[in-house]
Structures are given as structure tokens and as C-alpha cells.
Amino acid sequence: MNKEISVVIAGPRGKMGREAVKMVEGTEGFTLAAVIDRKFDGQKLSDIEGFSSDAIIYTNAEHCFTSVKPAVLVDLTTPETGYTHAKAALMNDVRPVIGTTGFSSQELEELKELSRDKKLGTIIAPNFAIGAILMMKFSQIAAKYFEDVEIIEMHHDQKLDAPSGTGLKTAEMIKEQRKNKQQGHPDEKETVTGARGGEVDGIRIHSVRLPGLVAHQQVMFGGDGQLLTIKHDSHDRGSFMTGVKLCIESVMDLEELVYGVENLID
């Protein structure tokens, strides 16, 4: 019989954290060992309206890891906190599954190194939704045939980071296939700063933030007389939970950092 996987969730009162608490509690083989929040130290999660779990709340991640000794940390907080938590987890032999986006490439490199040194799995997942992962994979295939591409990512207006983790990861995956190309007119000038979006490896990313959106992305490829648009929409945060579950299971068998859920599926 497989052992239960004890999981700590950071950010349980957030939009994603609430879904993750429900999923972990409802999944056979997972135990919600504790949660990490900014408030309510020492209280039970069930003391907060809307929760039924008796998991203890910690405001100090280090204290949580040394007291509870969970197998996995699922972090769904903010860029700065997510990075601190991931590092503290690895230092305390806890495997991080990080859904939080907005890390710098230097932070990613540091976590990769720490994960390798500790021989402990880490998953950094810019997007947990299977549809979004396929959208990125399909875009990577399309990039072999189309050199001209722009990414439009659209999210709710409470999002802290721009461009999105998914937008960045898509650009990186496309770059692996695409021939380097200076797109647009060589004499193009922006008369309004930012009008052409942000540029990552020669690929433009446009970030839309509006109430009413959840998480959406279109990757547009242009060619002679044709346009290919690869599009994904998450209308509900439940869309991310199958991916979170897969990451919790997969991280147990890893000994290094994996960046992107596409690396865990065939």
C-alpha cells in the first residue's frame, strides 16, 4: 500500500489556496498536515469561515516545516513569499510544488541548484491546467512552421505579475523551436510606450488585466495569407487542480527541479 503524502499549503485563504485545500482534503492518499498563512498563528483552519479542516495554521514557514515535517509544500502565495517558502522548504527537506508565478530567472536558477544539492524534487508550475499545457506544447510545434508569433495573455485584475508565468514559459518553449527573427517593420517606433507589449527573446507578450477574466491566453502565428491562433481559457480555478494533484504525486519521485508540468506528461 502507498504511504499517505502529507501536504502543507501556503496561502490557503487565497483564490487558488481554497481550491487546493478542498482538493487535498478530498484526495485519497493525501493528508493536509498544516497550512501557512499571514495571520491566525496556532489556530485551526476550521476556525476560519468556509473551512472544515482541523489543520493547524502557522505564520512562520520554517517553524511549520520543522514541527510538522511534511513531505510536500504547495505554495500559492505571492512572488516574494513563494520564493522564500520554496527555499525554506528545501532547506528543511520538504519538496516544493510552486504554483506561485513571478520568479526571476536568477531565483529559478538558485532553486534549481539547491534542489540538485539536496537531491530533493521541486516542481515550478507556471500553469497547472492540462489545457494550458497543451496550448503551450501545440504552440511549440507551430513555431517550427511559423517564425512570426505574438502572445496575448489575459488575467483578472488582482494579478501581481506581468507578464504571466504562462506567457513567459510559452515564449521560452517557442524560442527552443523558432528561428531568431526581428518581427514587424524594421523602422517601427512606439509613439505610446508599451504599445507593442513586452519583449522576451524577440517574442512580444501583451498582458491584459480586467475584472471578469480568470486566466486566458492566445498565441497568434502569422504567415503568408494565413493566421493560426492557439487559445486556452480557464474559466474556473478548479481547472488547475488535476495538475496540482499530479505535481504532488510526481514530486515525491524527483531528485531535481522540474520547471513546467509539460515535463511530467507524455
Ligand X SMILES: O=C(O)C1=N[C@H](C(=O)O)CCC1
Ligand Y SMILES: NC(=O)c1ccc[n+]([C@@H]2O[C@H](COP(=O)([O-])OP(=O)(O)OC[C@H]3O[C@@H](n4cnc5c(N)ncnc54)[C@H](O)[C@@H]3O)[C@@H](O)[C@H]2O)c1
Which of the residues are catalytic? Answer: 155, 159
Long-range contacts: 20-29, Cβ < 8 Å, 24+? Answer: 20/74, 20/76, 20/99, 20/241, 20/244, 21/45, 21/51, 21/53, 23/241, 23/244, 23/245, 24/74, 24/248, 25/52, 25/53, 27/245, 29/2, 29/4, 29/5
Asked if residue 11 belongs to a known ligand binding site, the reply is yes
- Considering only residues 76, 149, 205, 257, which one is a binding residue for ligand Y as defined by CB under 6 A? 76
Q: 31-90: which residues touch ligand X (CB under 6 A)? A: none
Q: What angle do CA 34, 37, 43 make, to 5 degrees?
A: 60
Judged by CB under 6 A, does residue 260 bind ligand X? no
Judged by CB under 6 A, does residue 116 bind ligand Y? no
Q: Which three cell numbers stand for residue 25?
A: 482534503
Q: Secondary structure of 166-178 in the HEC alphabet?
A: HHHHHHHHHHHHC
* Residues contacting ligand Y: total by CB under 6 A: 23
Judged by CB under 6 A, does residue 216 bind ligand X? no
Asked if residue 63 belongs to a known ligand binding site, the reply is no
- Choose among ligand Y, ligand X, none what residue 121 binds, the Cβ cut-off being 5 to 8 Å by kind: none
Helix pair angle (130-142, 241-251), 10° resolution: 90
**Closer by beta carbon to ligand X, 101 or else 140:** 101
For residue 16, the SS3 value is helix
- Choose among ligand Y, ligand X, none what residue 155 binds, the Cβ cut-off being 5 to 8 Å by kind: ligand X
Judged by CB under 6 A, does residue 239 bind ligand X? no
Diameter over CA atoms, the chain: 65
Q: Which residue has the cell 496575448?
A: 152
CA nearest to 119, candidates 264, 261, 254, 262: 254
Judged by CB under 6 A, does residue 34 bind ligand Y? no
Nearest residue to ligand Y, using CB? 14
Judged by CB under 6 A, does residue 51 bind ligand Y? no
- Considering only residues 26, 29, 38, 43, which one is a binding residue for ligand Y as defined by CB under 6 A? 38
Q: How far apart are CA 47 and CA 40, in angstroms?
A: 9
Q: Which three cell numbers stand for residue 54?
A: 482541523
Judged by CB under 6 A, does residue 126 bind ligand X? yes
Q: Which residue has the cell 476550521?
A: 46
The residue range among 11-19, 142-150, 172-180, 181-189 that interacts with ligand Y, by the rule CB under 6 A, is 11-19
Q: 85-104: which residues touch ligand Y (CB under 6 A)? A: 99-102
- Choose among ligand X, ligand Y, none what residue 17 binds, the Cβ cut-off being 5 to 8 Å by kind: ligand Y
CA nearest to 141, candidates 167, 177, 181, 171: 177
Give the annotated binding-site residues for NADP(+): 38
Site residues for ligand X per CB under 6 A: 101, 126-127, 155, 159, 164-166, 215
Site residues for ligand Y per CB under 6 A: 10-11, 13-17, 36-38, 76-78, 81, 99-102, 125-128, 240
Give the annotated binding-site residues for NAD(+): 11-16, 37, 99-101, 125-128
